[in-house]
């Protein structure tokens, strides 16, 4: 039985097809957001189905999640991203107790109990300084891509201190640092540490191991180590960290 989860996020749309009989992901796909979110989600859904020579009628259930979950008329129902994120992570890391998700436009922290139930969560969706958008702005200012920004940060031996808590002010602060002759690698390291520090403050002292890291920012190799240093805990990056919420939606569609 094939079930589908669609995560309509603020920056990307993700689709996961899940076979509830085999317990395996059949296919998945991701695309950047656009103006016509409904059409984009529908095209991605059909594209992922085509990978396995499937049609919509072959799918027994579709669950949509994420910010744009209401714009999927072909979904059977919607489920919040908090629930879907927890389900997706626990499928991949059954012992997870803390989930930190940093995406393009928001950051979330989930605390789970021993039964995998969400007992508490916190969210930063009002300020881009704690999200991947901060890294994008800095990378553009330094004239590099996100991967190179991460590599630059890893070469730093003296990370800059970024004091601003707003992306606009932080960009001005970075301009000042560059004018003062501070090395780009040290600025990159400071920004990475600043992002990790904001996630740590969101978590507070209530952090239980294992800690699982998800979201697009988790794709940057050095970010997990920076987050772990800020938290004082080891951090495990989820397999395909951008797809965990869509996987959770597919599990909901399967009744799991």
Furthest CA-CA distance within the chain: 62
* Residue 45, token pair as written in the block: 């859904």
Query: Rounded to an integer, what distance in angstroms lies between the CA atom of residue 49 and that of residue 103?
Result: 25
Query: Rounded to an integer, what distance in angstroms lies between the CA atom of residue 67 and that of residue 61?
Result: 20
- State the fold for domain 2-87+243-253: Nucleotidyltransferase; domain 5 (3.30.420)
pLDDT of residue 6: 97
pLDDT digit string (tens) for 55-91? 999 999 999 999 889 989 899 999 999 999 999 999 9
Q: What is the mean pLDDT of residues 181-190?
A: 96
Name 210's bridge partners: none
- Spatial strand order of the sheet with 12-19 comes to 24-32, 12-19, 2-8, 59-65, 77-78
Confidence check: pLDDT of 125 > 70: no
Give the closest residue to 248 by CA, choosing from 133, 53, 126, 118. Answer: 118
State the average pLDDT for the chain: 93
Structural domain boundaries of the chain? 2-87+243-253, 95-237
Confidence check: pLDDT of 238 > 90: yes
pLDDT of residue 126: 64
Query: Rounded to an integer, what distance in angstroms lies between the CA atom of residue 23 and that of residue 81?
Result: 21
pTM (2 decimals)?
Answer: 0.93
Query: How far is Cα of residue 137 from the mean position of the Cα atoms in its chain?
Result: 17
Handedness of CA 42, 44, 47, 49 (dihedral sign): negative
- Give every CB contact of residue 177 below 8 A, 6+ residues apart in sequence: 160, 187
Same fold, 2-87+243-253 and 95-237: yes
Contact 97, 209 (CB under 8 A): yes
Instruction: Provide CATH code, domain 95-237.
Output: 3.30.420.40
Confidence check: pLDDT of 153 > 80: yes
**How many C-alpha atoms does 142 have within 13 Å on its Cβ side?**
29
């Amino acid at each position: 039985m094939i079930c589908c989860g669609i995560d309509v996020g603020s920056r990307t749309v993700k689709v996961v097809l899940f076979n509830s009989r085999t317990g395996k992901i059949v296919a998945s796909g991701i695309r950047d957001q656009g103006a016509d979110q409904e059409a984009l989600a529908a095209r991605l859904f059909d594209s992922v189905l085509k990978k396995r020579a499937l049609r919509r009628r072959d799918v027994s259930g579709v669950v949509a999640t994420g910010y744009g979950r209401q714009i999927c008329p072909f979904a059977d129902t919607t489920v919040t991203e908090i629930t879907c994120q927890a389900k997706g992570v626990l499928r991949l890391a059954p012992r997870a107790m803390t989930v930190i998700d940093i995406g393009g436009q928001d950051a979330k922290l989930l605390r789970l109990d021993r039964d995998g139930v969400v007992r508490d969560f916190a969210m930063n969706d009002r300020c881009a300084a704690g999200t991947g958008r901060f890294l994008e702005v800095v990378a553009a200012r330094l004239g590099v891509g996100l991967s190179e920004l991460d590599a630059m940060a890893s070469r730093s031996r003296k990370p800059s201190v970024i004091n601003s808590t707003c992306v606009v002010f932080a960009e001005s602060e970075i301009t000042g640092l560059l004018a003062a002759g501070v090395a780009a690698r040290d600025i990159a390291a400071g920004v990475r540490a600043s992002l990790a520090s904001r996630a740590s403050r969101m978590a507070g002292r209530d952090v239980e191991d294992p800690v699982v890291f998800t979201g697009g920012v988790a794709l940057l190799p050095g970010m997990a180590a920076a987050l772990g240093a800020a938290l004082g805990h080891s951090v495990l990056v989820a397999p395909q960290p951008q797809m965990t919420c869509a996987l959770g939606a597919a599990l909901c569609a399967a009744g799991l």
